């Protein structure tokens, strides 16, 4: 399932890989509509006013992605936070956006356990908060992917047993222009491994 919402500073493409049935182990299923997903984003970038400038759009031939890789659609446990305070998440242009911790993804790569915190944006009307942001950094940043990290944006609700699909990792709009307001991935979401999946550095 895919829902696209345009919010200044965020490329919001919500991709649900939630599952509680026997297909949970079949990570290939998360790749089924990936080509369509990427094509729709490229079409929007080519035809809409944001986030590319007129000059960028004139030369735009599509975003650069890693090839689809099933191993980056990773089974995960999701634990929702029952109560959390609203925080002012810093942005790259020295502003802030109000978020609250919504829950934590727990997953394993090889023999290493990892955590990623998901955040809910709180300056939107309640009916527009039906997604969470997972801003993260990894060891490809600045060396193949945007130096400021990337985002996963996932539709609610999220099952306790789910999958986290890095093939859908997207650049914040700051990757395309300095005028946008984009959250800085919190330190707890810095992954000490390369995520060679999803969107690559723009214009490299």
* pTM of the entire predicted model: 0.86
Q: Which region holds residue 51: left if phi is over 0, alpha if psi is between -120 and 50, else beta? A: alpha
Query: Residue 140 has which token pair?
Result: 């490809």
Residue ranges of the domains in the chain? 2-189
Full pLDDT tens readout for the chain, 204 residues:
333 333 334 444 444 444 333 434 444 578 889 999 999 999 999 998 889 999 999 999 999 999 999 999 999 999 999 889 999 999 999 999 999 999 999 999 999 999 999 999 999 999 999 999 999 999 999 999 999 999 999 999 999 999 999 999 999 999 999 899 999 999 999 999 999 999 999 987
């Amino acid at each position: 399932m895919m829902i696209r919402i345009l919010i200044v500073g965020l490329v919001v493409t919500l991709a649900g890989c939630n599952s509680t049935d026997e297909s949970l182990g079949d990570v290939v299923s998360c790749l089924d509509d990936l080509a369509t997903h990427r094509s729709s984003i490229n079409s929007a970038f080519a035809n809409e006013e944001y986030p590319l400038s007129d000059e960028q759009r004139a030369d735009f031939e599509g975003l650069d992605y890693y090839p689809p890789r099933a191993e980056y659609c990773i089974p995960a446990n999701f634990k929702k936070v029952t109560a959390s305070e609203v925080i002012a998440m810093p942005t790259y242009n020295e502003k802030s956006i109000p978020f609250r911790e919504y829950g934590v993804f727990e997953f394993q790569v090889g023999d290493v356990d990892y955590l990623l915190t998901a955040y809910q944006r709180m300056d939107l009307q309640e009916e527009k908060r039906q997604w969470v942001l997972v801003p993260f950094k990894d060891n490809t940043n600045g060396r193949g992917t945007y130096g400021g990290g990337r985002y996963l944006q996932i539709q609610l609700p999220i099952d306790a047993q789910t999958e986290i699909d890095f093939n859908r990792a997207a650049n914040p709009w700051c990757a395309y222009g300095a005028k946008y307001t984009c959250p800085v991935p919190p330190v707890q979401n810095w992954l000490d491994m390369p995520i060679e999946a999803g969107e690559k550095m723009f214009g490299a």
